[in-house]
A and B are shown apart, each in its own frame.
Chain A
Amino acid sequence: MKRGLVAGLIGLNLLAGAAIAADMPEYKLVIKDHQFQPAELTVPAGAKFKVLVANQDSTPSEFESNEFNREKIVLPNSQITVFIGPLDKGRYKFFDDFHQDTGNGVLIVQ
């Protein structure tokens, strides 16, 4: 019963999500030499948006943030999409979980 409910919820939101996703703002990050480019990304407050993370290295990375609560593996030479927000104004750190000494960045929400 619970599973049915979850499946129903997912189905509903799949429809709703697809409609919204079309006009959602998009931002792009590149991982090169285990670093984020740009290291600071400015996004508007109070709106949902998506971030595309392209990994140009030959090793896997993990795009992660404890502050806006996201984690997703980015395989070598591939790209991921992560849906984020809406967030309040502020600075939100993110990092490459697999290369924490070099892969750091900040999401500036204003």
Chain B
Amino acid sequence: MLGVALLVFREVLEAALIVSIVAAATRGVARRGLYISGGIALGVLGAVVVALCAGAIAEAVNGSGQELFNACVLFAAVLMIAWHVIWMSSHARELVQHMRSVGGAVKAGSSSLGMLFAVVALAVLREGSEIVLFLYGMAAGGAGVGGLVSGIPVGIIGGVAVGFALYFGLLRIPLRYFFTATNWMLVLLAAGLASTGARFLLQADWLPAWGNQVWNSSALLCNGSVIGQALHILIGYDAHPAGIQIAFWLSVVIALVIGMKFTARASGSAAATAPTASTRSTA
């Protein structure tokens, strides 16, 4: 039971952290609960489909299908987050103003928000398909029903609880800095996902390593530990990254910082004077 709970917990944790950041970043948006649950449901459905197609994926592209599939999912998520982050840097101000004056939800029908919900679906799909394969193996391997029935909920509840803790922690950030903070978290999340994508392409021998283990901080914080794994998702932590992973990580951070500054300046000239009073939001 413990083995089942632990594996389910680890996979759910990774997806839950991403969902929490997205949930925080879409604060103040009308009907986001519906969108987020829709993204999760779509991801669960996708996970089952991916697990069913695991054989075909594994055999594709001379046996590199798994790596390419993972890399594509990760890079798609990176592009969607990038789009949202750059869009937000020109809209955060009006969003905050609106939340202060009305205290309610913004009826933003932006395509950028749709992108973030796709990110939720992709995150759930990627982690979920591993859970499905693992549980299928457990069931087929004759693991007791008792172990599965007790292990699965424990793992899910544990992972989701950490996600909620992060979400409510983020909500404590003052509204003035809120979207700046969530935007930076999205930037680091995207950079980390890009680094993981690069690692998959390296594993398939599609990218050069540029130094296989540039540093080794596993004595400080191992990749396999729960904290190492959480930081891996949140900021792209890797105890011994390859040079190519660092290059992808840095490229995404630099590209997004430039993109954010550029769009913020372009829209900032129109609304130069923003109110600076820090009122607490009720949203």
Question: Do B3 and A101 touch across chains, with their CB atoms under 8 A apart?
Answer: yes
Which residues of chain B from 129 to 148 have a CB within 8 Å of any chain A CB? 130, 133-134, 136-138, 140-141
Q: Which residue of B lies closest to A24 (CB)?
A: B205
Q: Is B179 an interface residue (CB 8 A)?
A: no
Q: Which residue of A lies closest to B240 (CB)?
A: A69
Chain B contacts for A57, CB-based, 8 A: 141
Question: Do B58 and A75 touch across chains, with their CB atoms under 8 A apart?
Answer: yes
Q: Which residue of B lies closest to A87 (CB)?
A: B212
Question: Do A69 and B242 touch across chains, with their CB atoms under 8 A apart?
Answer: yes
Bits for A70-88, please: 1 = Cβ < 8 Å to B, else 0.
Answer: 1111011010111101111
On chain A, which size bracket covers the interface?
A: 35 or more
Q: Is B33 an interface residue (CB 8 A)?
A: no
Cα of A9 to Cα of B241 in the assembled complex, Å: 19
Bits for B231-258, please: 1 = Cβ < 8 Å to A, else 0.
Answer: 0000000111110000000010001000
Instruction: Give, as a whole number of angstroms, the nearest-CB distance from A11 to chain B.
Output: 9
A80 with B207, Cβ < 8 A, contacts A66-B222, A66-B239, A101-B3 known: no
Chain B contacts for A97, CB-based, 8 A: 7, 134
A60 with B202, Cβ < 8 A, contacts A66-B218, A81-B63, A85-B212 known: no
Which residues of chain A from 28 to 84 have a CB within 8 Å of any chain B CB? 34, 50, 57-62, 66-67, 69-73, 75-76, 78, 80-83
Instruction: Give, as a whole number of angstroms, the nearest-CB distance from B221 to chain A.
Output: 11
Contact partner of A62 (CB less than 8 A), chosen from B130, B222, B255, is: B130
Instruction: Give, as a whole number of angstroms, the nearest-CB distance from A45 to chain B.
Output: 11
Question: Do A75 and B213 touch across chains, with their CB atoms under 8 A apart?
Answer: no
Contact partner of A60 (CB less than 8 A), chosen from B79, B137, B223, B240, is: B137
Chain A contacts for B54, CB-based, 8 A: 60, 73, 75
Cα of A76 to Cα of B224 in the assembled complex, Å: 25
> How many of chain B's residues have a CB under 8 angstroms from any CB in A?
42
| Interface of A (DSSP majority class) | mixed
Cα of A104 to Cα of B224 in the assembled complex, Å: 14
Cα of A100 to Cα of B4 in the assembled complex, Å: 10
Chain B contacts for A21, CB-based, 8 A: 205
Question: Do B136 and A60 touch across chains, with their CB atoms under 8 A apart?
Answer: yes
Question: Do A58 and B255 touch across chains, with their CB atoms under 8 A apart?
Answer: no
Interface residues in chain B, defined as those with a beta carbon under 8 Å from any beta carbon in chain A: 3, 7, 54-55, 58, 63-64, 66-67, 75, 79, 130, 133-134, 136-138, 140-141, 199, 201-209, 212-213, 218, 222-224, 238-242, 251, 255
Interface residues in chain A, defined as those with a beta carbon under 8 Å from any beta carbon in chain B: 2-3, 6, 9-10, 13-14, 16-17, 20-21, 34, 50, 57-62, 66-67, 69-73, 75-76, 78, 80-83, 85-88, 97-98, 100-101
Q: Knowing that A62-B130, A82-B203 are A-B contacts, what are 15 other residue pairs whose CB atoms are under 8 Å apart, sorted by A's residue number?
A: A6-B75, A17-B205, A17-B206, A59-B138, A61-B137, A66-B218, A69-B199, A72-B67, A73-B58, A73-B133, A80-B66, A83-B205, A86-B209, A98-B133, A98-B138
